[in-house]
Structure 1
Amino acid sequence: MGIPGLKPYRYHPIQEWGEPLVPIPGDQFTLTLPHPYAKLGAPYGNYSPFSLRQSVLIKLLQAQDYLQQIKPGWRLNIFDGYRPNTVQVFMVEYTYQELLKIQPEIAPTDLLAQVYQIWAVPSDEPATPPPHSTGAAVDLTLIDEYGQAVDMGSPIDECSPRSLPDYYPRESPYAIHRNLLHQTMIHAGFVRHPEEWWHFSWGDQLWAWVTGAPNAHYGRVEEN
């Protein structure tokens, strides 16, 4: 029996490659500092949110190189990478409580549905890891040649329809920026989350489900 609320891709088979987590180099990317979840007190322990599986980082470097070919001086701005399941639990609860403050009249089940538009359902089951808990998913945006954040039309993690990749008309500057990020990432083999303009994966269950690969390469990183 499946876990309620899980997206269909979370049941895709996993054949673990066993690659280590490696740090995302801050001299080659822009990192969002201080990290927003760690600042809230999310329990990362000895892990860094600015880390990914080894092959995923290689793909991310390829995406960065491509971006700088078509937009000299621009950079990928890394918002979040690896996320332990304990952090997933923390952020789901935090987001729920924040929504409850501004929508106290909404039924709990409806509030939770809003939360799960953005946040994957936490799971301790090895077969159904949250994407970021595999070290194969990354949340990111763009920095222009002047070092300024590019306006994408909504902030990362906003629980609203504006988070949908195709929310804005194609001729909108926001849509153009989102399409540039998408073009950059798919050039390196990533796939975009269908409901989040900022979320991209390579090698996890979402990637396998979208591309038709028989297995995902990465399951949950075992937390020490």
Structure 2
Amino acid sequence: MAKQGLVEVAKAVSGVKVELKYATQDNFMKRDVYGCLQHGYLQKEVVEMLRKAQQSLEANNPGYHLLIYDAARPLSIQWILWNTLTQYPPNIRKNYVADPREHSIHNYGSAIDLTVSDEKGKALDMGTTFDFFGELAYPSKEQELLANNKLSKKAYENRLILRNAMKAAGFMPIEYEWWHFNAFSRAEAKRRYQVVQ
């Protein structure tokens, strides 16, 4: 990835932790699909945004850290993710995994999946696990989920801690995943960068 001009996040941003879920079996596929890819990489501009997000998080919540679950993702891996979710028709599947024919913003090194960890390194309760496929993970449904006691107030507040830090740095949340943030739109990422192979 460094050969494609991407920057290793943990070396570039003080305070950020990295635990790539697709380099472990702790993901929806229950297998390591990253193999030798053990470090999170992003475009240089996105790393600068992430630095601002970490600074914002620390300023408002001393001792807290951004914990990265996924960053730049090779297109070949995008196909593996897409082809694993065959239980969903393509029109539903694309809510959870971008169609590789259209590319994910991860494929441009311009999207990030992450959470917040506390002073002890423990991930905060966000109401679901990473890669949870369902409405409980949808930021767009949080008010309804709160009203129906499906999402706890604490989990909602923790999501706001993450979202506020990321938005303060210019990242954009998405409708279906509390953990996913884009630095740019797909069109802008495509205009700026090459697909990560």
8 Å contact 2:108–2:190 — kept in the other structure?
no
Is structure 2 residue 128 aligned with structure 1 residue 141? no
Is structure 2 residue 64 aligned with structure 1 residue 129? no
Aligned to 1:105: none
Is structure 2 residue 155 aligned with structure 1 residue 174? yes
8 Å contact 1:62–1:188 — kept in the other structure?
yes
8 Å contact 1:129–1:219 — kept in the other structure?
no
Amino acid at match of 1:80: D
- Given candidates 199, 206, 218, the residue that maps to 2:180 is 199
Alpha carbons of structure 1 residues 69 and 134: separation in structure 2 relative to 1, 3 Å: same
Higher RCO, Cα 8 Å, sep 6+: 1
Is structure 2 residue 112 aligned with structure 1 residue 86? no
8 Å contact 1:81–1:139 — kept in the other structure?
yes
The alignment's C-alpha RMSD in Å is 2.5
Q: TM-score, normalised by structure 2?
A: 0.80
Aligned to 1:189: 170
SS at match of 1:28: coil
8 Å contact 2:75–2:196 — kept in the other structure?
no
- Given candidates 31, 41, 51, the residue that maps to 1:61 is 51
SS at match of 1:62: helix
Aligned to 1:3: none
- Given candidates 176, 185, 192, the residue that maps to 1:218 is 192
Is structure 2 residue 93 aligned with structure 1 residue 115? yes
Aligned to 2:132: 158
Q: TM-score, normalised by structure 1?
A: 0.71
User: Which segments of 5 or more consecutive residues in structure 2 lack a partner in the other structure?
Assistant: 25-30
Higher mean alpha-carbon deviation, 171-180 vs 60-69, is at: 171-180
Cα deviations by residue, 1:43-64 (Å, 9 ceiling, x for unpaired): 567x666000001001001100
Is structure 2 residue 3 aligned with structure 1 residue 28? no
Aligned to 1:7: none
Cα deviations by residue, 1:21-58 (Å, 9 ceiling, x for unpaired): 110115531111xx33233242567x666000001001
Post-superposition offset of 1:147: 1.9
Q: Percent identity?
A: 26
**CA–CA distance in structure 1, aligned partners of residues 38 and 120 of structure 2:** 28
Alpha carbons of structure 1 residues 133 and 222: separation in structure 2 relative to 1, 3 Å: closer
Q: How many residue pairs align between the two structures?
A: 179
**CA–CA distance in structure 2, aligned partners of residues 147 and 203 of structure 1:** 29
Cα deviations by residue, 1:138-188 (Å, 9 ceiling, x for unpaired): 000010122211000001111111110143328711111111111100100
SS at match of 1:169: helix
- Given candidates 14, 19, 33, the residue that maps to 1:42 is 33
